[in-house]
Chain A
Amino acid sequence: MKNKYLFPVLILCTGLFLSIWFHSSTTSQNNRFIQQEFRLLAENRYLMIKESLDHHWTVLHSAALVFKTFENISREQFSAFVKPLMHHYPNIQALSWVPRIKDEDREAYETLIQKEGFSAFMIKEKHGKRMIRRERSEEYFPVNYIEPFVGNEKAFGFDLASNLTRRKALIEVRDSPVEMLASARITLVQEAGKQFGFLLFYPVFKKNTQLSNIDSRRKGLRGFANGVFRIGDMLNESKRGNTELQAFDITLPDKPENLFSSTKSPVSKIVTKKTINVAGRSWQLVFTPTDSFVKKHERKLAFIGLIAGVTFSFLLSAFVYNLLNKKKQVEEKVQKRTQELYESETQIRAIVNTAVNGIINISENGKVLLFNPAAETMFGYTADEVIGQNIKMLMPEPYKSEHDGYLKKFIEKGKSSVIGTGREVIGQRKDGSAFPLYLSIGDMQMNGKRQFVGMVIDITKRKEADLELIKAKEKAEVANRLKSEFLNTMSHELRTPLTVILGNIEELLEIEELPDPAEIVDISQDVYKSGIHLLALINDLLDLSKIEAGKLDFLFEEVVVDEIIEEVIKTMKPLAKEKKLELHYQGKQHLSVRADPLRLKQVLLNLLSNAVKFTDQGSIAISSVRDNTMINIQIDDTGCGMKEEDLEFIFDPFRQIDNSMTRKIGGTGLGLAISKKIIEKHNGSITVKSQPDRGSSFLFSVPSYQGEIEHE
């Protein structure tokens, strides 16, 4: 806030200072110029005055010379000589001859003049306003010859010594070794009130007078040539219109007397003073410029400059204040925007860094510009390793080689199936392993250049899940198909004995058409056989479905292997004997297993009867052996055996290899499937090995008896 005012105020102060300085410097320069100009004028006028005065002195000097040269010059001669001079110098009020008359010569002198025609002539003095006869004195200095006479009649016969001022001057000029002497100002009788005048005395001595000797001078003094001068007219003569003049008599410095003034009050401070010596007196001439001179030389520039300067300072100051204010506002705005930008940038950066999906930004030629932490984790590269490299380093072949071409094509044609959408692609990690990922690409313009932003999601898990789902689905479909196949097969298996039963019974339905008794017996045997088979089928199916549904109860107990095998062999012996097959048990290991004896016997019977059924010659061997916690029981035969490709289906329901065999041998086709289920319920397993015409070998294992029987 302080700054807001500091600078403008500084500018204002500086501006004002400069304006005033400019003004004062211009003014003083102007003044100096005027003064110089004026001094020249004044100087000029001073010289003119001085010259004029010199001329006037010359006039008086000339007049004095006349008296000096011609001791008895007549009034007419004087007049004739002086008149033309005075015509040239009109400022001379009067020129006169003032003789020295001793008291003893007074009457004679007066008479002489009276005889000349001036009957009223007398030596007189001023008494108040009147002229009276001069009282008696040692000597007199009466004005005698006077030019012009007209107008100066009053002075005719006036004793200059009767007046103190004049007498002092007369005495001084008589006693001083000077050529002439001026009086102090006098009031001119004729010009009273208008201007002052002064007198100039020029002493005239007798010949042989020693001028350097006062006594000689006093004795030799004949009289004075006297000039009366009008100061005002004399000084005004040189007036040129540019100067005003005041003149002072400063012979007595303490008591200056005003001699002349052309103006009542000087208008200017510009003054030029000159002192001039006027026949023993000091006059000071004070020149001042006239109004018109001042006006003429006045320079308006300074004032205009001042006004302009001050105005400009204020304006500039206001402008700067405004500017600063605005600058401050702009700065605040910029700062705010910068802060906002920073926050927004920080947020976007944080989003990019926190995003769980990989974000990769590339240039139009495939150079990686950004590689976020999620992408780092996904590909195993650090951002530093990838940024600046071509994006294809993250792809396995053949995509790696094709990618530059794709990019180029897109830049040229602007068409792509990938941009703006997403799809599954293959990525390559730093360790070279490939993995599936979902890639979606957007394109954008940055500083006029195209860029791409890819969002990648590792879909390895999803792919695995997909695969498992597909597998599960396939499994379910297979199970479903198997189930429906099983039902179809079951239906087929049930219909076959039913066909025999129903087809034969038909023959016995009509009493008139009964066959002979032997035939009836044959039919009945066929029907009975099929009925028995049908029952076995139904029982086996029930068993199988019960086991599968977990509804068949197993009662586990300790079963002695030797005992149960002996039991089964006892059961099967007659059948084996019938086929002339050897049936023997190698074991007698005194092993016992944890089993349901009824079900275990069922399995043994099934396997043993199969062996007997499919073996036409040779032997059937049973063995039992301990394998760790399991007891292995094996049944080997020397029968027809089975092909390798048939073995994997052998435990499936109704998967008898050769149906004709079943027809001949019987059996439901469910025995092995049931046996497998039973063994599995015992936590055991059953396998088969076989070679065609060499025999088969069934091996199953059940857990050995460990003591306590837990009920299920």
Chain B
Amino acid sequence: MSKKILIVDDHPDIVKMLVRKLRKIGWEYETAENGEIGVQKALELQPDLILMDMQMPVMDGREAVRRLRKKGFTGKISALTASVLNQELEQLIKDGFDYYITKPIDKSFISQLKEILGTD
């Protein structure tokens, strides 16, 4: 079953790498280079899952989630973070994220997404 994923990340090489993986399993995808564009696209496309980078110019991940939740977005949002501090990771859930995936991603990345979306 095809899923629609929105990738919000300012690093083009990372976006490119993630797109390769999604394309391979046949899922739909959309990309945004900062939080502001991300919010806009998420409300417009209503993706099944948003993969949200944290440190971005213009609008960071945290602010983007806050805005989405404020505007009634109920879809799943997973943080994609390079942070390793437990304190920061715990804070993500409080900020409105449903999950977090840490960088660098490993081989289980796709199965992690499937698990989040409840598909095989």
Known: A488-B83, A496-B14, A496-B82. A502 touches B55 (CB 8 A): no
- Chain A residues near B16 (CB, 8 Å)? 526
Q: Is B1 an interface residue (CB 8 A)?
A: no
Query: B17: which of A491, A504, A661 is its contact (CB, 8 Å)?
Result: A504
A350 to B1 Cα, complex, angstroms: 99
The number of residues on chain A lying at the interface, defined by a beta carbon within 8 Å of a beta carbon of chain B, is 24
Q: Is A499 an interface residue (CB 8 A)?
A: yes
In the complex, the 6 A-B pairs of residues with the closest C-beta atoms, listed nearest first: A499-B104, A495-B82, A492-B82, A503-B17, A660-B57, A499-B103
Please list the residues of chain A having a beta carbon within 8 angstroms of any beta carbon in chain B.
488, 491-492, 495-496, 498-504, 506-507, 523, 526, 529-530, 658-661, 663-664
Residue pairs across A and B with CB atoms within 8 Å: the count is: 68
Which of A496, A499, A502, A663 has its CB near the most chain B CB atoms (within 10 A)?
A: A499
Given contacts A526-B13, A530-B13, 18 further A-B contacts (CB under 8 A): A488-B83, A488-B85, A492-B82, A495-B103, A496-B11, A496-B82, A496-B103, A499-B103, A500-B11, A500-B14, A502-B104, A502-B105, A503-B21, A507-B20, A659-B55, A659-B57, A660-B34, A661-B57
A65 to B69 Cα, complex, angstroms: 192
**At the interface, is chain A mostly helix, strand, loop or mixed?**
helix
| Contact of B33 with A660 in the complex, beta carbons under 8 Å | yes
| Contact of B104 with A495 in the complex, beta carbons under 8 Å | yes
- Chain B residues near A504 (CB, 8 Å)? 17, 20
Known: A488-B83, A491-B84, A663-B12. A499 touches B17 (CB 8 A): yes
Known: A492-B83, A503-B18, A526-B17. A659 touches B106 (CB 8 A): no
- Chain B residues near A506 (CB, 8 Å)? 21, 107
A530 to B103 Cα, complex, angstroms: 14
CB distance from A144 to the nearest CB of B (A): 186
Closest to A501 in B: B104
- Chain A residues near B13 (CB, 8 Å)? 500, 526, 529-530
Known: A492-B83, A495-B103, A529-B13. A659 touches B18 (CB 8 A): no
Known: A491-B82, A499-B105. A663 touches B21 (CB 8 A): no
- Chain A residues near B11 (CB, 8 Å)? 496, 500, 663
A-B contact pairs, 19 of them (CB 8 A): A488-B84, A491-B82, A495-B104, A496-B11, A499-B104, A499-B105, A502-B106, A503-B18, A504-B20, A523-B20, A530-B13, A658-B57, A659-B56, A660-B10, A660-B33, A660-B34, A660-B56, A663-B10, A663-B11
- Chain B residues near A502 (CB, 8 Å)? 104-106
A663 to B17 Cα, complex, angstroms: 15
Please list the residues of chain B having a beta carbon within 8 angstroms of any beta carbon in chain A.
10-14, 16-18, 20-21, 24, 33-34, 55-58, 82-85, 103-107, 109
Closest to B58 in A: A660
A529 to B11 Cα, complex, angstroms: 13
Closest to A525 in B: B13
- Chain A residues near B58 (CB, 8 Å)? 660
CB distance from A489 to the nearest CB of B (A): 9
Closest to A533 in B: B13
Query: A499: which of B14, B85, B107 is its contact (CB, 8 Å)?
Result: B14
| Contact of A499 with B82 in the complex, beta carbons under 8 Å | yes
- Chain B residues near A492 (CB, 8 Å)? 55, 82-83
CB distance from A505 to the nearest CB of B (A): 10
- Chain A residues near B56 (CB, 8 Å)? 659-660
CB distance from A452 to the nearest CB of B (A): 53
A658 to B106 Cα, complex, angstroms: 28
CB distance from A422 to the nearest CB of B (A): 42
